[in-house]
Amino acid sequence: MDFFDNVGAWIGYLWSPIGDWLLNADDAGHKLAVMVVAIVLFVVVMGAILLGVDRPKRVPGWVVSVGFVGPALLFLAFGLVYPALRTIYASFFNRNGTEYIGFDNYIQSFTQNEFQIVLRNTALWVILVPIVSTLIGLVYAVVVDRTRFEKLAKSLVFLPMAISMVGAGIIWRFMYEYRQESSDQTGLLNQLLVWIGLEPKQFLLDAPENNFFLILVFIWIQAGFAMTILSAAIRAIPDDIVEAGKLDGLYGLGMFRHITVPSIRPALVVVVTTIAMATLKVFDIVRTMTSGNFQTSVVANEFYVQSFRAQNAGLGAALAVILFVLVIPIVVYNVRQMRLAEEIR
Amino acid sequence: MTTTPTPPQAFEKKEKGEVPGGAPPGREKTEGRFERRAARAKKRLTSPWASGIAIVIAILWTIPTFGLFVTSFRPSGDIRRTGWWTILGDPQFTLENYQEAMTGSTRLIDFFVNSLVITLPAVFIPISIALLAAYAFAWIPFRGRNFLFVAVFALQIVPIQITMIPLLTQYVDWGLAGSFWTVWLSHSIFALPLAIFLLHNFMKDIPPSLVEAARVDGAGHVKIFFQVLLPLLVPAIAAFGIYQFLWVWNDLLVALVFGSSLDVRPLTVHIAELAGTRGQTWHLLSAGAFISMIVPVLVFVSLQRYFVRGMMAGSVKG
């Protein structure tokens, strides 16, 4: 028995510096080394699995499929399915999970004043962002279609898609920057207000209209997405339909209303629903610009606040479940429409 | 028509240049009110109005970024005193903001390294795992395959928020919390449903005869995967890889929850915190924002084609 105790002690003794080295990297070289170790480790493990199953004659077929699918299923079961079930379970318990409280967390989320504001804001976001950004994206896609500067024009509007929402939040906070009337404005929008003779405004502080100024940021980001998809859809409209429209004397706006829009309807639906899903989960913008203060919080932000700041795990879980339930109908509709769109093509 | 094929664009241009009056004269009389209005609308919309709208939107979309970009090169005193549009009268530029943001007390260079260290494995690991799974779903027949694939597909709708508290608890139990490992693992997990689904679609597009031929030659699945499918999938992998790279690089939520300690946090987390605690130090914030954007923008400019394709394919993720 001494022997095994010793082995255990030896493993512990040998492991602790290795574990320490792997877990606590504090300078650049060390971090990069840990990264390389992680990748090599991953390659070695996956290589071993594949080598183990790569004997077509000697191992049964199911071993091969487990070798290929197993890692993915393990990750998903551990990281998505199980935690999601745990969260649903936890949403029926109090703030530290010690007492079963039934639907109280949900009732609180739907009835308390501050949470009703959160739900109202979320509804505003989910309605406004998809509609407005799709409209702008559509108009822009039509007016730049087949012009000389099409590529550049599209890049300019698409660029906000490429940067982080944190970056976008900072860009727009600077646009909204407020100075007292007596001093020079440094935010462009307030300067514009002053130039036309109005008083500067606290864009991000004055509720409830501050919500619209946050929503504008996400519209600014998503219009590029809408434009790109819709532009491709416009390109795909069969020439004979366009020709027929022209023969019927349709031009400009008439063409837009009677030919372009009906032809790309499936793409429009996909764009609107896809943006709606992204909007429902929007967190970064609110977090960066107001941290959800001044009555600007949305469900995804409130989830973060309750779970990791207010340490109310039960309520946080309930908010996550609400997010999940809200997103399901949009996803189902989106997938259906995407299928339809593919069939048409 | 000549024998030289006309490039389609030249044809389009001619069509666009057509004026309403170009229609056959007989039709003019029968034109109803609607047609006349439409013709007028066309005149309005094609050149000046359409270009006008395009220019206005393009300018509106560019100015916010441009303003902060200009600001990031202005001396900090000037930034506090006047708006960035005043540079026209008093052009003063400096690189000091970037220097201070990178190496001063904010030490963004450290967080830049963190972003890089987080991102590379968080792209490589999920794509590798997803490629294998996608191969199995596409080309290895096994019992319950369809059911499992539909299940994986359905997992795309699970918002990552719903997994976070239990995952964090688990990481704490294992003693991994606050290390790069939890961030890598989380990003890998969250990327899988979409990655498997998309790569599976691409794998299905490959002609079965190729796979069959290799199988007849006696190749096992591993050999088919590496020698037949992988080379054909390079564009798909590139598109999804770029998408995942930018998703991880730009991510705030996952990093905030699993890797917010100073030794791990990426640029996004640190800059978001600077915005919260030092919201008026615009010379640092502006430079910091652009330091965090430079990598995505470079990727965007150099690999635009793949980028847009990946972005479109991945738009459902959340």
In chain A, the domains with their CATH numbers are 2-90 (no CATH), 105-344 (1.10.3720.10)
What was the pLDDT predicted at A30? 93
Candidates B112, B92, B93, B94; CA nearest to B102 is B112
> In chain A, which among 93-112 make CB contacts under 8 A with chain B?
none
Candidates A171, A185, A199; CA nearest to B60 is A171
pLDDT band at A319 (very low <50, low <70, confident <90, very high): very high
Residue B43 pLDDT > 70: no
Tens digit of each residue's pLDDT (9 = 90 or more) over A68-94: 999 999 999 999 999 999 999 999 999
CB distance from A21 to chain B under 8 Å? no
Distances (CA, A) of A233 to A273, A333, B13: 16, 19, 20
> In chain A, which among 260-299 make CB contacts under 8 A with chain B?
274, 277-278, 280-281, 283-284, 287-289, 291
Cβ within 8 Å, pair B148-A69: yes
Residue A208 pLDDT > 70: yes
How many residues can be counted in chain B? 318
Cβ within 8 Å, pair B180-A84: no
For the record, the structure tokens of B77 come out as 């005193």
Tens digit of each residue's pLDDT (9 = 90 or more) over B155-213: 988 999 999 999 999 999 998 888 999 999 999 999 999 999 989 988 888 888 988 89
What was the pLDDT predicted at A218? 97
Q: Which range among A82-96, A176-190, B40-54 shows the weakest confidence by mean pLDDT?
A: B40-54
C-alpha to C-alpha distance for B241 and B100, rounded to whole angstroms: 33
The three-point CA angle A156-A159-A160 to 5° equals: 120
Candidates A228, A166, A214, A31; CA nearest to B249 is A166
Cβ within 8 Å, pair B188-A164: no
Closest residue to A252, CB basis, from B42, B58, B82: B42
What is the residue-averaged pLDDT of chain A? 89
Burial degree of B277 (CB within 10 A; 0-12, 13-18, 19+): exposed
Candidates B300, B291, B310, B307; CA nearest to B114 is B291
pLDDT band at A1 (very low <50, low <70, confident <90, very high): low
What was the pLDDT predicted at B49? 82
pTM value is 0.86
Cβ within 8 Å, pair B57-A76: no
Q: Find, in chain B, the residue whose alpha carbon is nearest to that of A37.
A: B121
> In chain A, which among 63-92 make CB contacts under 8 A with chain B?
64-65, 67-69, 71-73, 75-76, 78-84, 86-88, 90
- Count the neighbouring beta carbons within 10 Å of the beta carbon of residue B273: 16
For the record, the structure tokens of A308 come out as 């990791």
Cβ within 8 Å, pair A324-B159: yes
Q: Find, in chain B, the residue whose alpha carbon is nearest to that of A53.
A: B222
Give the distance from residue A3's alpha carbon to the nearest chain B alpha carbon, in angstroms. 27
Residue B4 pLDDT > 50: no
Residue B68 with chain A: CB contacts under 8 Å: 170-171, 174
Distances (CA, A) of B201 to B66, B130, B304: 39, 12, 22
C-alpha to C-alpha distance for A212 and A278, rounded to whole angstroms: 17
| CB distance A205 to A294 below 8 Å | yes
Cβ within 8 Å, pair A163-B44: no
Cβ within 8 Å, pair A220-B61: yes
| CB distance B190 to B314 below 8 Å | no
Domain boundaries, chain B: 32-98, 101-313
pLDDT band at A57 (very low <50, low <70, confident <90, very high): low
Burial degree of B217 (CB within 10 A; 0-12, 13-18, 19+): exposed
Residue B192 with chain A: CB contacts under 8 Å: 72, 75-76, 80
The three-point CA angle A38-B313-A76 to 5° equals: 45
pLDDT band at A20 (very low <50, low <70, confident <90, very high): confident
CB distance from A244 to chain B under 8 Å? no
C-alpha to C-alpha distance for B253 and B217, rounded to whole angstroms: 49
Cβ within 8 Å, pair B164-A136: no
| CB distance A95 to A312 below 8 Å | yes
Q: What is the mean predicted confidence (pLDDT) over B14-31?
A: 38
Residue A32 pLDDT > 90: yes
pLDDT band at B22 (very low <50, low <70, confident <90, very high): very low
Q: Find, in chain B, the residue whose alpha carbon is nearest to that of A188.
A: B83
Cβ within 8 Å, pair A308-B257: yes
What was the pLDDT predicted at A342? 65
What was the pLDDT predicted at A120? 95
**Which CATH number does B101-313 carry?**
1.10.3720.10
Residue A304 with chain B: CB contacts under 8 Å: 161, 253, 256-257
Backbone angles phi, psi at B205, to 5 degrees: -75, -10
Residue B9 with chain A: CB contacts under 8 Å: 146
Read out DSSP for A94-162?
A: -TTS-SB-TTHHHHHHHHSHHHHHHHHHHHHHHHHHHHHHHHHHHHHHHHHTT-TTHHHHHHHHHHHHH
What was the pLDDT predicted at B167? 95
Q: Determine the distance from the C-alpha atom of residue A225 to the mean position of all C-alpha atoms in its chain, rounded to a whole number.
A: 13
Q: Find, in chain A, the residue whose alpha carbon is nearest to that of B243.
A: A162
pLDDT band at B7 (very low <50, low <70, confident <90, very high): very low
Tens digit of each residue's pLDDT (9 = 90 or more) over B88-112: 888 889 999 999 999 988 889 999 9
Residue A58 pLDDT > 90: no
| CB distance A42 to B158 below 8 Å | no
Report CA dihedral (A250, A251, A256, A257) to the nearest 10 degrees: -40
What is the residue-averaged pLDDT of chain B? 82
Q: Find, in chain A, the residue whose alpha carbon is nearest to that of B35.
A: A249
What was the pLDDT predicted at A337? 76
pLDDT band at B66 (very low <50, low <70, confident <90, very high): very high
Q: What is the mean predicted confidence (pLDDT) over B14-35?
A: 41
Write down the ipTM of this complex.
0.90
Residue B19 pLDDT > 70: no
The one-letter amino acid at A146: R
- Count the neighbouring beta carbons within 10 Å of the beta carbon of residue B91: 9
C-alpha to C-alpha distance for A299 and A270, rounded to whole angstroms: 23
Q: Which H/E stretch holds residue A169?
A: helix A165-175
Q: What is the mean predicted confidence (pLDDT) over A275-302?
A: 93
Residue B8 pLDDT > 70: no
Residue B57 with chain A: CB contacts under 8 Å: 136, 139-140, 143, 157
Cβ within 8 Å, pair A307-B64: no
Q: What is the mean predicted confidence (pLDDT) over A126-148?
A: 93
Closest residue to A76, CB basis, from B37, B193, B304: B193
Distances (CA, A) of A122 to A192, A271, A321, B83, B318: 29, 19, 15, 33, 16
For the record, the structure tokens of B85 come out as 């549009």
